[in-house]
Amino acid sequence: MATCPECEFDDIDTADHEEGDTLSCPECGKNLVLLGADELDFADDEDDIVADKDDDDDEDEDKDDDDDKEDE
């Protein structure tokens, strides 16, 4: 059994999984990846990808602001 690093639910069955497999915590639903013997870490999920895209949008806006300053 492994423990979720997000909510610390400690009854996640990993017996039928191999290292590198992705699974979800039954308690909080967080996507996890099995690193080794009953060791879990956060899996890359779509929320992270969306957050990265939002960060890129902010950078684009900053560039637009800089362009406006150069025009003045």
Q: Which pLDDT belongs to residue 44?
A: 82
Closest by alpha carbon to 15, among 6, 26, 23? 23
Whether 1 contacts 38, CB under 8 Å = yes
Tell me the pTM. 0.57
φ, ψ for residue 16 (rounded to 5)? -95, 10
Strand order from edge to edge, sheet including 22-24: 22-24, 31-36, 39-42
Q: Which two tokens stand for residue 47?
A: 């929320």
pLDDT digits (tens, 9 = 90+) for 26-41: 999 999 999 988 899 9
pLDDT digits (tens, 9 = 90+) for 10-63: 999 998 999 999 999 999 999 999 998 889 999 886 544 444 455 555 555 555
Q: Is the dihedral of CA 49, 51, 57, 63 positive or negative?
A: negative
